[in-house]
Chains A and B, each alone.
Chain A
C-alpha cells in the first residue's frame, strides 16, 4: 500500500537555528508533493508544492523543499527558524492515477526554544 512517512514525531530547535523535516513516500509512480502547516485549532495551510520541473521549490515563510526521486524524499528546510514557526507540519503525496487523493504523513510537531 502507498504510504508517507515522517520519521520525526516531535522536533525541538532553538530560535535562529536551521531546520530540516523529513518526508519519505513509497510507490513507484511519479508523485506530486506538498507540505502543509497547522497551527493549534486551525486547518491546514499550504507551505509549498511540487508538481514537476525544478526539484528545489520555494514556499511561503522562508521554507523550501527538495524532491529527490532516487530517495523517494521531499524534505522541508528553513535556514533560520522563528518562534512563530512552532506548529505541526504535514507532508502529503498524490499520484495522477489516484483521482486527486492525497496520502498524508503522521505529522511532525515543531517546538521552538527561545
Chain B
C-alpha cells in the first residue's frame, strides 16, 4: 500500500512565525501536491511538484512556498503565518497522469495560527 506520511497531525503556531509542514511518500511517485481544506470549499490546490526541484503554483499559492529536494519529500512553508492560514492541510502523491493512477493522501495536518 502507498503510504503518505505528514509529520504532524496537529500544530499550533503564532502569527508571524515561519511554519514548515512535511510530507513523505514511500512509493517513488513523481507527483506531489499540497492542498488546504476548509468547510464548504472542498480541497484547494496550493502547490504541486512533478519532479525534484520542480514546483508549480496551484490555485491559492499566496503566502506559501514549497521545497522538493528529494523525490520522496515535499515541504510546505508558511513564510509568515497569519490567522487566515488556520486550516487543514493535506498532502498527496501520484504517478504522472498518463499512468491512470489516483492521488494518495496523507492523514492531514490541522494547523492553528494564534
List A residues at the B interface (Cβ < 8 Å): 4, 6, 9, 32, 34, 36, 41-46, 49, 51-52, 90, 92, 94, 96, 98-102, 104-107
Interface of B is mostly: strand
Chain B residues within 8 Å of chain A by Cβ, number: 29
Contact A99 B56 (CB under 8 A): yes
**Interface code B10-54, partner A: CB below 8 Å = 1, 0 otherwise?**
000000000000000000000101010000111111001010000
Known: A42-B108, A90-B42, A90-B43. A51 touches B50 (CB 8 A): no
Q: Which residues of B contact A92 (CB under 8 A)?
A: 43, 103
Known: A94-B97, A100-B48, A100-B96. A106 touches B42 (CB 8 A): yes
- How far in angstroms is the closest Cβ of chain A from B18? 25
Q: Which residues of A contact B102 (CB under 8 A)?
A: 34, 46, 49
Contact A96 B41 (CB under 8 A): no
Contact A102 B103 (CB under 8 A): yes
Pick from B41, B94, B97, B105: contact of A98, CB under 8 Å: B97
Closest residue of chain B to A109, judged by CB? Answer: B39
- How far in angstroms is the closest Cβ of chain B from A86? 17
Q: Which residues of A contact B110 (CB under 8 A)?
A: 41
What CA separation (Å) do A45 and B45 show in the bound complex? 17
Contact B45 A101 (CB under 8 A): yes
Contact B48 A96 (CB under 8 A): no
Q: Which residues of A contact B106 (CB under 8 A)?
A: 43
